Amino acid sequence: MVIFEFFVSNTEFFAISLKRITCLVLLVFLSYVNTVASKEQEEEYTREKVQNVYPGFGTDYVLFPDERNHPIIGYLKLNSTSSRTFGIFDINDRNLNEDVKFEYFSREYPDGFRVTSQEILKNYVNISKPTKFITHGWMSGGRKDSSVLIRDGFLHKYDANVFVMDWSAISGNPFYPIPMMATPKVGKHYGKFLNYLVDELGVKPVDIHLVGHSLGAHVSGFAGRTVKRGKIGRITGLDPALPGFDSGLVSSGTLNSKDAHFVDVIHTCAGFLGYKSPLGHADFYPNGGCPPQPGCSVLEFMEACSHSRSWRIFFSSLVNEEPYMATKCSSLSEISTKKWCKGDPIEMGDGTPLEARGIYFTEVLEEDLLFSVEDANKV
């Protein structure tokens, strides 16, 4: 199978013993403690700067900070051993009812509960209220910050039905190609859940808003196109994942403007971990859309940190009284040079007008971001 052969690699990197991997992680962490590249933020970021220190970075593996800011290695390729160990061939046999979980939240039920039976939702979902969904990306989950903060932000701003879709049983696989190739199937399963809300509970598709980060952005797109009775109202893609999708390895394509009545996208690691090309009706490129984003100064984590800025920005737009205003640009080249564009400004984030069309530039500083609902209450 051509796709599988593309990922199967017997490079020396993947032959590294567990001991050598542990040593690499330790070295990366020590470098994290001592490496601050604030001056480099003023220069154009290139992967070569990281690869000079960490050979194979960005092609064989990437680094993510965990909740204690310790490095986690995520692999971008498979070898024959990893494909057998992690079951690339039985991905279609997964029990998605167990691997894909939904949790329901509302102002009446802020602690939420796992949806073990769709029938139970008849007692909780209020179809007169808007319905919001959040899902995460690779190496993340429904209880991680990207999902939890946006969930809390929605409940802070709206009296709404809020769902978190957790597919971490699949997305948590450290070998990226496996969750990447699973996104269409996960999205279709997600779409079946949406169809239940529409068909059985009477939720209007136009009242549904899906928010997805990284791989979760594409999953949201696949879910949106699965809904049978009309298009859903909105999908927000937060730095949709680039690797594998740009080369057409996922036959279902990517998140696109046909997946909902309105699709908006925030790009923060464009051309590296996230898509650079416009995908929606309105695409936003804060600080030019590329790494390093302000505050992402640790060399090893510049890409991962910048990738996460998309959901930080969206969360902040939910709870911050001061909107992020963006200006329409005529081309990506105008954005890449970080020139101020001349179009009329519109709001970026949750408050983006549904009639917005085109590409937009804005500046977002680290101090402009909020990191909890409590931060908003202090402002």
Strand partners, 326: 346
Separation of alpha carbons 83 and 25, rounded Å: 22
Structural contact between residues 63 and 301, judged by C-beta atoms closer than 8 angstroms: yes
Collapsing DSSP to helix, strand or coil, 159 comes out as coil
Separation of alpha carbons 327 and 233, rounded Å: 24
Separation of alpha carbons 30 and 22, rounded Å: 12
Give the number of other CB atoms < 10 A from CB of residue 357. Answer: 14
Catalytic annotation, residues: 214, 239, 307
Angle at 140 between CA 236 and CA 11, to 5 degrees: 110
Give the number of other CB atoms < 10 A from CB of residue 304. Answer: 22
Residues in the chain, how many? Answer: 379
Crossing angle (nearest 10°) for helices 215-224 and 177-201? 40
